[in-house]
Amino acid sequence: MHWVWKISNKMEKIIISSVIFFCLHGVSWALRDNMPKDLQEYMKKTEYCEYLTGEWDSDLSDERKRLLEDEINIYCKKANELFYELKEKYKDDPRKMEIINKHSELIRYYTEKPIE
């Protein structure tokens, strides 16, 4: 009977962890929905830029490398442009500037113009 308690205790921890995760994830989405569209676009572009650069590998076929490089150039370049536009636009809003700067870390090494 003792082993049943251990399994139940583990299940309880899993359930509690799952509930906390989904609650926090929901808060994250709710916060994103309340943000201006241009800031949402910037966040999506920086996240996709990071994803694409993580997909690049020297073992890929030349065609796949070329396709990835094309997409990286599109999304990372746009994210970089948005960084400077939004930095100027929201310079007096500390909350938005924190988000802008945090997401700039995702594109810092993948842009033509250095992030400042």
Question: Is there a single domain that holds both residue 30 and residue 52?
Answer: no
Write out pLDDT tens, residues 22-54.
555 554 444 556 889 999 999 999 999 888 888
67-79 confidence digits (pLDDT tens): 988 998 898 899 9
When divided into structural domains, the chain yields a total of 2
Per-residue confidence (pLDDT) for residue 29, from 0 to 100? 47
Q: What is the mean pLDDT of the chain?
A: 78
| Domain boundaries, position 78 | 36-116
Q: How far is CA 10 from CA 6, 13, 17, 99, in A?
A: 6, 5, 11, 36
DSSP-derived letter for residue 82 is H
Looking at the fold, whether 20 and 45 belong to one and the same domain comes out as: no
Rg of the chain over Cα atoms, rounded to whole angstroms, equals 20
Q: 24 and 14 in one domain?
A: yes
Report d(CA 97, CA 102) in Å as an integer. 8
Q: Is pLDDT larger for residue 113 or for residue 30?
A: 113
% of the chain exceeding 90 in pLDDT:
36
- In this structure, the answer to whether residues 98 and 113 fall within a common structural domain is yes
